[in-house]
Homo-oligomer: A and B are copies of this chain.
Amino acid sequence: MSGVSFADVEAAAARLAGHAVVTPLIESPALSERIGARVLIKPETLQRVGAFKFRGAYNRLAQLSADERTRGVVAFSSGNHAQGVALAARLLGVPAIIVMPSDAPAIKVAATKAYGAQVRLYDRLRESREEIANAIAKENGSVVVPSFDDPAIIAGQGTVGLELVRQAQAAGGALDVVLTPISGGGLIAGISLAVKALSPATAIWGVEPAAYDDTRRSLEAGERVTLKPEARSLCDALESPAPGALTFPIMQRNLSGAVGVTDAEVAEAMRYAFTTLKLVVEPGGCVGLAALLTAKVKPPAGGTVGLVVSGGNVDPDLFAKAIRGEI
């Protein structure tokens, strides 16, 4: 019993219709030629707020009661979930307070404020974001919106998978493999519910930063492993130290496995996305592409791959360094 089902993903899709962008599938003959398989890119960079996170946030906030809407929501996030909650809250007329680390990418903090949310910065090393958020929620009577371990969040992110399978079918491609970034697992868990319901033979692989490979370790151990990484990852969006309590059993059931990619491999993938795909992708959004380019995940020759590119919110300075080969 996972607490969330394919029917929840379908219900989320109905709630999101007309509010979220149905992102297109993109094909690059150059990439497909290089990989030796047809690669169908699902660019959530083109989603509202520049990342898939809007889907889950909107799906969660749309289900608040009238009373809850008045009292508002609080969330903690280093960036993309923050923006997703902030914009969903604005569209639904709900006050939002977002707790963000003081070293979050400036572009993500600025965008969150621009969507009308109140931002409370905290010191990542000295303060607990959970405690801050819970204190705010208690004081205001507001609802905490988790970034991944919540049935409505998982179901909302799952609409990426629903669209991907249907668009691939419309493009004449039966998906052999789907590749998706993993942080806490909300995106891949949701996607896996849709993919396994509509295309059971498709293998689903998760990709995470090598320094934050908690999901790979957890899947191998058969139980949730919590990391205490000492270093930051280039992928600011993928620094979850452990899979979620809700997402992990779904991943155990549906994933073929998970692999880790290094910062250097991610930077190379960002350059490839710039040079060849002409897409602006943030580090965490690039891990699936990195896994393909390094053949850490090898699709069957001549097969079809669904590649989820999850976000494009990257500071200009970091992007400039990546495309100049300075990372």
Binding site for B on A (CB under 8 A): 21, 24-30, 43, 45-46, 48, 50, 107, 271, 274-281, 312, 316-317, 319-320, 323-325
Contact = CB atoms under 8 A, between A and B. Distances in A.
B312 A323 contact: no
Given A24-B26, A45-B278, 7 more contacts: A21-B27, A24-B24, A28-B46, A46-B278, A274-B280, A274-B319, A320-B324
20 contacts: A24-B24, A24-B25, A26-B46, A28-B46, A30-B48, A46-B277, A46-B278, A50-B278, A274-B316, A275-B316, A278-B279, A278-B312, A279-B279, A280-B280, A316-B320, A316-B324, A316-B325, A319-B323, A320-B323, A320-B324
Nearest to A107: B275
Q: Is chain A's binding surface mostly helix, strand, loop or mixed?
A: helix
Nearest to A324: B316
A50 B46 CA distance: 18
A48 B30 CA distance: 8
Contacts of A30: 48
A320 B278 CA distance: 14
A134 B224 CA distance: 69
Contact of A29 (B29, B48, B275, B320): B48
Contacts of A316: 271, 274-275, 320, 323-325
Contacts of A45: 278
Nearest to A45: B278
A125 B128 CA distance: 64
Q: Which of A27, A278, A280 has the most CB of B within 10 A?
A: A278
A74 to B, nearest CB: 24
List the 3 closest pairs (A to B, CB-CB), nearest first.
A320-B320, A278-B312, A24-B24
A27 to B, nearest CB: 6
Contacts of A43: 278
Contact of A21 (B21, B29, B46, B325): B29
Contacts of A277: 46
A24 B25 CA distance: 8
